Structure 1
Amino acid sequence: MQILSHSHFHFATGRAATVPLVLFCLLVLTGLAGCEDKTPEAKANRAPVEIGVEILHPQSVHLTTELPGRTTASLVADVRPQVDGIIRERLFREGSEVKAGDVLYRIEPSSYRAVYDSAVATLKKAQAALPSSENKAKRYSELIKDKAISSQDYEDARAIYESDLAAVASAKAEVERARINLGYTEIKAPISGRIEKSDLTPGALVTANQSVPLTTIRRLDPINVDMTQSSTSLLNLRQAIASGRIHVSGTIMAVKLKLENGTIYSHPGSLEFSETKVDESTGTFTVRAEFPNPDRLLLPGMYVRAIIEEGVIDNSYLVPQRAVSRNTKGQPVAMFVGQDNKVEERVLSVSRNVGNSWLVESGIGDGDKLVVEGSQFVRAGQVVTTKEMTVEDATGEVKPVQDAQPAQGAGAEG
């Protein structure tokens, strides 16, 4: 075949003929470059793509759930006066630690001491009259047997004696009441803890059971953390424990605390109780944990995150989140390399996140090779070469196996 002929192309001399010739050459070269050898022989000779894989093995995973919460004092007591009077002195330093029974304030006791002394005197007077009426009643009880006196005289003597007994009892009650009121002039700490600022100073007039407290005491050691958890999470956990998928050691759930600055609190706590009613508006309930607080590092009202150890699930697989994607149906999928070095895509059953990994319940077997690096360059059915890698759970970084440190355990977050 004749590609070019003088009847089709005429090349004129001069500068104008140069441009068509250059364009023609470029078109020919582009066409040649676009030609690709797609024969089976060429495909067989092409080098397989190298990708990074992580070999998966079943392991025991410690399940935890992280819940937001607020610290609260384990005991709170508002200090109020029990009697009226003028505050004479304050006996504590604001912000210090006090013990139960320590005297905090003194109210002017003069009037209450006078009432007490009067009650004591009345009691003594009543007790002085009692022996005479008692002896007379006994003597008349003997005479009435011999009918030496009339029944009316005997009854009058008995009445006087009973009246004197009542007078003594009433006087004793008045003495006790006066003693209590006198004691209330010393306002004492009802609990041990840290005392706050004083809202009233010496010289102030106070009244019994007034609405404004004199001060407040909070017990900070131990300290409580109140958290909220969804009812769905509780149901899932209880069903997993009942079915045997999650094993719980002991009856007390250990709790760790993550502070506002991201550090872990040095003292572990324990789960104390959970409410028996779910909030209808939010679908949550309150859970309370207790933590030692000897250094008073935790103060009421601080925002924290509690990490609750739920239990251990055996024979589980952890898949790095970077290796999992979603298919068109929204299902979690991952790429694996089979025995014949062919890439295959599997649908996974994911239950919860574990740090930077997923806890997978089905779709994986022992020794499976998970593609963790280079998955964007391969497709299902493609033959590849592999290099064993590992993924750091804390950072999600992929490293060759020889450069990675062996993992010591795993923890799950719900």
Structure 2
Amino acid sequence: MASAQLRSKIDIRPALTLLITASLMLGAMNARAETAPGKKMPPPIVPIESVKTISVTIHQTFSGVTQAERQVDVRAQVSGILKTRAYVEGQKVDKDTPLFVIDDKPYVAALNEAIANQSSAEAALNSVQRNWNRIKTLFSKGVASDKERDDAQSALEMAQAAVKVAQAKRVAAKINVDYTRINAPIAGIAGRRTVAVGNLVNVGDKLTQIEAIDPIQVILTTSADNPYADSPELKPGPNHPIPATLLYGTDGSKRVEGQLNYRAVSIDPNTNSITLRGIFPNPDQTLQPNEYVRVNVAVDKLDAALIVPQTALTSGIRPGSHAVYTVDSQNKITLTPVELGPMSDQGQVIKSGLSAGQRIVTDGLVKLRPDIVVEPYKGGKEKAVKK
């Protein structure tokens, strides 16, 4: 019991401290040994490529919103009780497809009255015409007076005018009867009805809307500060359409080929932007109005451009600048500042700072620093910066 109590009173902390100190000293000695002169770290292995000039096409992608190519409000042109709706909401309709019918009874009655009035006016004209023929004959023989001739001629002219008025009223009455049958003014998708059957509609009341979405148009904008804003490729017109590709879907993988056909004359002062319009085929009505899409346009072509992968770019010494690591004949790298041009499908265009034939590091820049020696990836095999 006494020996157990004695062991419990022994303080082991000095021994533990000594053990930790020895371990730290041993680690430091090993670290110094690893970094000692004569024991160099192996050079980083990185992909190296030779810069070449190639022909590239510069594309720009713009955000846009789809709109119906045509949008027409269907409105009542006569008043009356809405009797029937003859179409299915949300379905495609052809031009002149019946949509609504308004009660035509009062308009048919008005048409019949106009027909009767025209017949009466024509009968009166026939009577006046016969009287005029008699007076004209008598006047030529010196039997009728000037006043009788003038009165007969005036009566004839008034009767002729009355017939024309009656004819016009008959045409107007027939038009009103036709207006009670409301047909689709254009082909497209018929929208939701705004008035239920049985309600009274007045002249000008909106009944539904038809949207023509094949083809469908896209309204897009570009900044007035865009360096290509004044290029011919962004100045479409009726006689100068510009080929364009519409990209849609969650990942933008769906494509439709079309064209830009309009550019606004003025710049929007609120957004400093220019409005453009594209038109794209949409036979299956896959695209609907008010969808957000992207439109890709080729804005320039460079015949001899220096191209590097984006992975070859790093930050330069100055804030906001760019650089690449160039490689000399001894595989020593140098941080070389470059001026960027536009982005192409094949890679980043270099405006200045590089020459054709120079070798650059194209990836793995995070483990590099200037003036170190690197080892080319895959035993020194190099490839041109060309996709």
Give TM-score scaled by structure 1 length.
0.77
- Distance of aligned partners of 1:203 and 1:35 in 2 relative to their CA distance in 1, 3 Å threshold: closer
Matched residues in 2 for 1:350 and 1:310: separation? 17
- Distance of aligned partners of 1:142 and 1:368 in 2 relative to their CA distance in 1, 3 Å threshold: farther
Alpha carbons 1:260, 1:303 under 8 Å: kept: no
Q: Counterpart in 2 of 1:394? A: none
Matched residues in 1 for 2:54 and 2:379: separation? 18
Alpha carbons 2:246, 2:257 under 8 Å: kept: yes
Shift of 1:375: 4.3
Aligned residue identity for 2:54: Q
User: Which of 89, 96, 119 matches 1:94?
Assistant: 89
Q: Aligned Cα RMSD in Å?
A: 3.5
Q: Counterpart in 2 of 1:304? A: 293
Q: 1:37-77 CA deviation, whole Å, 9 max, x = no partner?
A: 5xxxx79x997665421222112222211111111111111
Matched residues in 2 for 1:124 and 1:309: separation? 69
Q: Counterpart in 1 of 2:264? A: 275
Q: Counterpart in 1 of 2:4? A: none
Alpha carbons 1:109, 1:185 under 8 Å: kept: yes
Q: Counterpart in 2 of 1:123? A: 118
Give TM-score scaled by structure 2 length.
0.82
Q: Counterpart in 2 of 1:192? A: 187
Matched residues in 1 for 2:195 and 2:32: separation? 97
Matched residues in 1 for 2:302 and 2:181: separation? 59
* Identical columns (%): 28
Alpha carbons 1:256, 1:265 under 8 Å: kept: no
Matched residues in 2 for 1:151 and 1:126: separation? 26
User: Which of 211, 215, 227 matches 1:218?
Assistant: 211
- Distance of aligned partners of 1:237 and 1:214 in 2 relative to their CA distance in 1, 3 Å threshold: closer
Aligned residue identity for 2:350: V
Matched residues in 2 for 1:185 and 1:215: separation? 15
Gaps of 5+ in 2: 1-13
Aligned residue identity for 2:242: M
Q: Number of residues paired by the alignment?
A: 362
- Distance of aligned partners of 1:83 and 1:239 in 2 relative to their CA distance in 1, 3 Å threshold: closer
Alpha carbons 2:256, 2:281 under 8 Å: kept: yes
User: Which of 328, 352, 357 matches 1:338?
Assistant: 328
User: Which of 236, 251, 274 matches 2:228?
Assistant: 236
Shift of 1:155: 0.8
Gaps of 5+ in 1: 1-14, 243-249, 391-399, 408-414
Matched residues in 1 for 2:328 and 2:232: separation? 32
- Distance of aligned partners of 1:35 and 1:222 in 2 relative to their CA distance in 1, 3 Å threshold: closer
Kindly indicate whether residue 167 of structure 2 is the aligned counterpart of residue 172 of structure 1: yes
Kindly indicate whether residue 320 of structure 2 is the aligned counterpart of residue 327 of structure 1: no
Alpha carbons 1:321, 1:356 under 8 Å: kept: no
Q: Counterpart in 1 of 2:99? A: 104
- Secondary structure of the corresponding residue to residue 294 of structure 1: coil
Give runs of aligned pairs for residues 15-414 of structure 1, distance below 5 A. 33=33, 37=37, 50-210=45-205, 213-233=206-226, 235-238=227-230, 251-330=240-319, 331-339=321-329, 341-354=331-344, 357-376=347-366, 379-387=369-377, 407=387
Shift of 1:219: 0.9
- Secondary structure of the corresponding residue to residue 220 of structure 2: strand
Shift of 1:31: 12
Q: Counterpart in 1 of 2:6? A: none
